[in-house]
Structure 1
Amino acid sequence: MTIDGAVASTEATFDVVNPATGAPEATAPDCTPQQLDAAMTSAAKAYRDWRRDEGRRRELLRQSADALMAAAEDIAPILTLEQGKPLGEATFEVYGAAIWFQYYADLEIPRQVIQDDDAAFVEVVQRPLGVVAGITPWNFPLVLASWKIAPALLAGNTMVLKPSPFTPRATLKVGEVLRDVLPPGVLNVISGKDPLGASMTSHPVPRKISLTGSVATGKKVAAAAAPDLKRTTLELGGNDPAIVLDDVDVDTVVEKLFWGAFQNNGQVCSAIKRVYVPESLHDRIVDGLADLARSVKVGPGTEADVQLGPINNRPQYERVSELVADALSSGAVAAAGGKPIDGDGYFFEPTILTGLSDGSRIVDEEQFGPALPVITYRDIDEVVERANATHYGLSGSVWGADADRASQIAEELECGTAWVNTHLALAPHQPFGGAKWSGIGVENGTWGLLAFSEPQVVHRSKA
């Protein structure tokens, strides 16, 4: 771990499992309450000077990006072994994290003059909040950490960061790399089992909690933050619909739909989780998706040419298995896949399900894995209503040859991001957040930066 710019070791550790084997691959430190206090104290102390020099913050963000790029070949194998994704995608994730640092190093911090006359000069400026507690998930532990670290540090905050216990080691490595760049205490990286996150959210030092995780965890964080009125950004789960219109070019769209659902083995909060198709196009789309599902190479992320790795952890593997089995027992048909892959590890066949409808658990819930239900519809107004009939509201997409028509329908979706003829198109400058149970607040862009600050009015009288 990295606390106050130095290595922090522990006597207690916990196992980190390689999802490609199902067996422990390594161990990670189990942060003690005393070490958590030390990390928070260090961050609070560092905040006093860090918030005062914007130019230095920008320069060190640039140096952090360079350091991550240089260390990508060291970090990526660790990420693959604990997360399961192919090595090339793990390397790309490290680069992606660096890109977020680069973006925020150059982003202007807004200042707005709202009055300048004979009476007064009044300006709205942005003040940092203080210490931020960052809690990140296991699907994209590095890039989603960068969504928090980079804007928080640019705004003038310091941070204590905790990765998921399923994928701690790559993030700890990032902390090791950046401890040679950032001043002591600016970024503290700790690891531990799930109770550590609860201790962070209830700790008296942080003024902001930034979580990417499940809806259940988000509700707990919101409740824990309330007594101290901590600010929160909660990026939570999704059940993203993709609505395919009747004028679509099936041959063009099928592969895009497939990878919109199966990127990172379906373990993306904003991946396509359900596809609605016109009855007239159902068979062609299902056949195309099933052909792709059968053709992709599934295996350990360390092997060449692997496109999909394992599900990251046993609880999620069991959940996907249960949801698929429930659908099949209720009359659904697996056009491809439909069951776990025999052998070691948490591998599951890429699965395309048909013959089901709204009300099925795998349609109504977030599966977060390599299984995609395809559902028919007859009427546009009806399918939009069905797509919106969920507690989730992270993102969604509409697909059609007439982009203007598709855009009008996309604007009817109750979600934070509505894509047209694409899905999972994310960028540092583009705000990302959810409606309803999918979260509170946004990340990325100027909006994400403002989430780590608060406005202050500076009023200078001229009288």
Structure 2
Amino acid sequence: MRRFTMTIDGRGVESAQHFDVIDPATEQVCGRAPECSPEQLDAAFAAASTALRGWSGLAPERRGKALAAAADALERQTAELAAVLTAEQGKPLAQARAEIGSAVRWLRHFAGFTPNREVVQDDDVAFAEVLRRPLGVVAAITPWNFPVSLAFWKIAPALAAGNTVVVKPSPYTPLTTLRIGELLRGVLPDGVLGVVSGGDALGARLTRHPAPRKISFTGSTATGRKVLSAAADDLKRVTLELGGNDPAIVLDDVDVAEIAPKLFRTAFANSGQVCVAVKRIYAPRRLYADLVDALAHEAVTARTGDGRDPETLLGPVNNRPQLDRVAALVSDALSRGAVAAAGGSRLARDGYFFAPTVLAGAEDGMPVVDEEQFGPALPVVAYDDVDTVVERANASHFGLAGSVWGEDVERAARIAGRLDCGTSWVNAHIALAPHIPFAGAKWSGVGTENGRWGYEEFTQLKVEYVAGGSPARRRRSEPTTAAGRH
């Protein structure tokens, strides 16, 4: 059985204790990961603190070259990394390869990113410039649904800004991140990127450790509250990308046959285990039955199975607790009068497989509609009035994203603008890119990831103020001497 090592100060580090990682498609152990001790966590942060001065002192272009080299190193090992990712996370190999590709894309984007110079005053009174300085050591905590891509949403901008990073992946999916740490030894300077692994106790120690000045966390809202509370004691900066219950509002002028496959793909991507996936669909009553039937057809024809099978479209739920949660939400909805137009139960086979489920007759007030199910179960809710349905969509503690679908794009855009969330899409969903900011409203997060805005989350704003204007302006305004005229 393959064992992976942590990366601390550019070296591979074993641990006295290890934990098993389960392949969700087989329920068998697929690898072992080290359980980071308190002393090893201290060593990882000490190495990151030592490396900080040299790394932050490099010119941005030199840091960019190192990030580009890291992108090249990961790209060369895409096949190996994707195989490990599929084994521990469950997603189909093609999607695992795409996830490694997204890490490469984020690294290359921030390798070439240069923040704009911001001069806010330049006159005879004063010269004032806003600068961006690195915060210091960053602790990154990543989830099990996209352990690689979401790690690099944090790592790439943090390193580009001159910080050093210690990353802790979820104990359900630590192996690919550990392997990435192994591959990047010698590519990045020692101590610049540390990778540690362990359970919830390690996460708690990491957030309370005095070394990091910034915590960047992606995960559940409940855990995000704990991270925020722990960080508050030391006034650490935080970015929290938390849960979502993202609505898709379908308008009455759509072509059902055209949009149903798009809605299905964006609801069931990664078997529904996407923070920003479509979690609930509001459909006009006139088109309701047709849309439910079309979505059910997509569900029953989608191949569900082991991600190593090239015919598989939907893999398993990643872990047993999440499988049980999805099953409980669906069972509750059925008991309240919803009908499974497709699916509705766990598949009778080894692995954490739940049949892709489309729930007709779902209503607001059902937990499967009001909460984040985070699995292959999609409630479809009927509506009669657009203004009312916008209010219903917004009546949620969550506000990560939402979408509106309609032939009249201007009308759809006006309605999308009324959604109370960080991102609203028109005739699209899960449209993400390294240059576009991503942030949540309400319970869905604190702070911003990606783009210039995400980069600035890893910086401390500093103002440099020079009374009397800039040296260049003062030189221009000095009287010319006789000697100077020759």
Q: Could you say whether these structures have the same fold, taking a TM-score greater than 0.5 normalized by the shorter chain as the test?
A: yes
Which residue number corresponds to residue 423 of structure 1?
Answer: 429
Q: In the aligned structure 1, how far is the partner of 2:342 from the partner of 2:348?
A: 16
Of residues 407, 417, 427 in structure 2, which corresponds to 1:411?
417
CA contact (8 A) 1:111 1:126 kept: no
Q: Following superposition of structure 1 onto structure 2, how do residues 343-422 of structure 1 map, counting pairs within 5 Å?
A: 343-422=349-428
1:63 to 42, 66, 69: 69
Question: How far is 1:421 from its partner?
Answer: 0.3
Among residues 452, 457, 464, which one is paired with 1:451 in the alignment? 457
Q: 1:48 aligns with which of 37, 48, 53?
A: 53
Q: How many Å separate the matches in 1 of 2:318 and 2:307? A: 11
**Structure 1 runs of 4+ with >4 Å offset:** none
The one-letter code sitting in structure 2 at the alignment partner of 1:258 is F
Alpha-carbon displacement from aligned partner over 1:361-398 (angstroms, at most 9, x marks no partner): 10001000000000000001110000001100000000
What are the superposed Cα offsets for residues 276-304 of structure 1, whole Å, 9 maximum, x if unpaired? 00000001100000001000101010112
Q: What displacement does 1:111 show?
A: 2.2
What letter corresponds to residue 441 of structure 1 in structure 2?
A: G
CA shift for structure 1 position 332: 0.7
Q: Supply the AA of the counterpart residue of 1:384.
A: V
Q: How does 1:234-249 map to 2 (within 5 A)?
A: 234-249=240-255
Shift of 1:115: 1.2
Give the Cα–Cα distance (whole angstroms) in 2 for the partners of residues 314 and 79 of structure 1: 18
Per-residue CA deviations over 1:243-302 (Å, capped at 9, x if unaligned) read 000011111111111011000000000000000000000011000000010001010101
CA contact (8 A) 1:138 1:163 kept: yes
Q: Secondary structure at the match of 1:141?
A: coil
Cα deviation for residue 180 of structure 1 reads 2.3
In 2, Cα distance between the equivalents of 1:360 and 1:180? 52
Instruction: Provide the C-alpha distance between the structure 1 equivalents of 2:52 and 2:258, rounded to a whole number of angstroms.
Output: 51
CA distance in structure 2 between the aligned counterparts of 1:214 and 1:91, rounded to whole angstroms: 25
| Alignment gaps of 5+ in structure 1 | none
2:196 alignment partner, one of 190, 195, 209: 190
Give the Cα separation in 2 of the matches to 1:260 and 1:388.
Answer: 20
Paired AA for residue 29 in structure 2: P
**3-state SS of the aligned residue for 1:228?**
coil
* Structure index of larger Rg: 2
Is the contact between residue 239 and residue 273 of structure 1 (CA under 8 Å) also seen in structure 2?
yes
Return the letter of the residue paired with 2:390: V
Aligned counterparts, 1:4-15, within 5 A:
4-15=9-20
Give TM-score scaled by structure 2 length. Answer: 0.94
Cα deviation for residue 33 of structure 1 reads 0.2
State the distance in 2 between where 1:433 and 1:341 align. 35
1:109 Cα deviation (Å)? 1.7
Distance 2:416 2:407 in 1: 14
1:123 lines up with 2:118 in the alignment: no
In 1, distance between residues paired with 2:135 and 2:116?
16
- 1:285-304 to structure 2, matched below 5 A, reads 285-304=291-310
1:260 to 256, 263, 266: 266
Which residue number corresponds to residue 30 of structure 2? 25
Specify the SS of the correspondent of 2:404. strand
Of 133, 137, 143, 2:139 maps to: 133
* Residue 110 (structure 1) shift: 2.8
CA distance in structure 2 between the aligned counterparts of 1:386 and 1:23, rounded to whole angstroms:
43
State the SS of the aligned residue for 2:148: helix
- Per-residue deviation, 1:108: 1.4
Q: 1:158 aligns with which of 152, 159, 164?
A: 164
Paired residue secondary structure (1:268): coil
The answer to whether the Cα contact below 8 Å between 1:87 and 1:302 also exists between their aligned partners in 2 is: yes
Give the residue type in structure 1 aligned to 2:19: F
CA distance in 2 between counterparts of 1:154 and 1:462 reads 33
Q: Over residues 53-93 of structure 1, what are the superposed CA-to-partner deviations in whole Å (9 max), with x where a residue is unaligned?
A: 12211110111111110111111100000000001110111
1:87-236 to 2 correspondence within 5 Å?
A: 87-236=93-242
1:442 to 443, 448, 452: 448
2-structure distance, mates of 1:110, 1:157: 18
Q: Secondary structure at the match of 1:258?
A: helix
* Range with bigger deviation, 268-277 or 176-185: 176-185
Letter in 2 for 1:56: R
Distance 2:362 2:125 in 1: 68
> Residue 286 of structure 1 aligns to a residue in which SS?
helix
Q: Is the 8 A contact 1:110 1:126 kept in 2?
A: no
Instruction: Quote the residue 1:251 is aligned against.
Output: 257
- For 1:51, what is the secondary structure of its paired residue? helix
Preserved contact between residue 356 and residue 375 of structure 1 (Cα < 8 Å): yes
- Amino acid in the other structure paired with 1:422: A
User: What is residue 38 of structure 1 aligned with on the other side?
Assistant: 43
Work out the CA distance in 1 between the residues paired with 2:70 and 2:78.
Answer: 12
Per-residue Cα deviation, 1:401-449 (whole angstroms, up to 9, x for no partner): 0011000000110100000001001011110110000000110000000
Q: Deviations over 1:17-76 (max 9, x none)?
A: 000011222110000000000000000010011111122111101111111101111111
SS of residue paired to 2:311: coil
- Is the contact between residue 109 and residue 155 of structure 1 (CA under 8 Å) also seen in structure 2? no
Do the aligned residues in 2 keep the contact of 1:129 with 1:208 (CA within 8 Å)?
Answer: yes
Paired with 2:248 and 2:333, the residues of 1 have a C-alpha distance of: 19
SS at match of 1:176: helix
One-letter amino acid matched to 2:266: G
Q: Is the 8 A contact 1:13 1:29 kept in 2?
A: yes
Deviations 1:330-378 (A, max 9, x none): 1110000000000111001000001120000100010000000000000
Gaps of 5+ in 2: 1-5, 470-486
How many angstroms apart in 1 are the aligned matches of 2:467 and 2:333?
68
CA distance in 2, matches of 1:197, 1:203: 10
